Structure formats: C-alpha cells, structure tokens
Amino acid sequence: DGGITQSPKYLFRKEGQNVTLSCEQNLNHDAMYWYRQDPGQGLRLIYYSQIVNDFQKGDIAEGYSVSREKKESFPLTVTSAQKNPTAFYLCASSPKGARPPYFGPGTRLTVT
C-alpha cells in the first residue's frame, strides 16, 4: 500500500524540549511539505522540499527545522524557540511537475 505515514498520531512534550515529528512516504514523490493547522484556521506552510538535500522556508518557519537526506523522509523538528508549538501538524507530498499534494494523517502535538 502506497501512502504517507506520520508517527506518532499524538505527541506530548514539556515546554523547552525539542521534538521531532516523523514523515515517511513510499509514493516515490519528489516534493514534500510540512503544514501547521490551528483550530478554526486553514493550513499554513512551514517548510517544503522539492528535491533531496534541498528545502525552503514557508510562511511560518521560525522555530522549526527540517532535513531531507532521503527522498522518502522529511522529519520536522519543533524547537524550544517556537512560541506556540501546540497544533496539528500535517505532512504532504507530491510528484514531479504541477501536481497537487497528498496529505498524511497528521500528528497532534501538545506542549505543556
């Protein structure tokens, strides 16, 4: 079965700790993305990567970091510098060319 896997589904952390969210895809897609969703709001782009070893900041990159060492994987680290880290985080991927992204099931992060 091809798809996008995000783990875990729910994540709890203490304030001041860094946390890394996993995103893996076996769709052979070139591009991968991270979005953040807050209650009652649309999705906002954090980072995106169109090829391995390259990534660009989205609209709300402050306090986040990413890596793209393998085509299948695009982990997101939420650092202690992120002021309001509690949110629903969505990973997406898309094939080469002008094609819409497909989304994973999301990880709900709660920081207390």
Partner 1 sequence: GQQLNQSPQSMFIQEGEDVSMNCTSSSIFNTWLWYKQDPGEGPVLLIALYKAGELTSNGRLTAQFGITRKDSFLNISASIPSDVGIYFCAGPGNAGGTSYGKLTFGQGTILTVHP
Site residues for partner 1 per CB under 8 A: 4, 6, 31, 33, 40-45, 48, 50, 56, 58-59, 90, 92, 94, 98-106, 108
Residues forming beta bridges with residue 55, ordered by sequence position: none
Eight-state DSSP code of residue 60: T
Tell me whether residue 80 or residue 88 sits nearer to partner 1 (CB atom).
Answer: 88
- Which pair of structure tokens corresponds to residue 4? 């996008």
Q: How far is the CB of 4 from partner 1 (least distance, A)?
A: 8
Tell me whether residue 22 or residue 80 sits nearer to partner 1 (CB atom).
Answer: 22
Q: How far is the CB of 80 from partner 1 (least distance, A)?
A: 26
Order of strands across the sheet with 19-25? 4-7, 19-25, 76-78, 64-66
SS3 call for 96 = coil
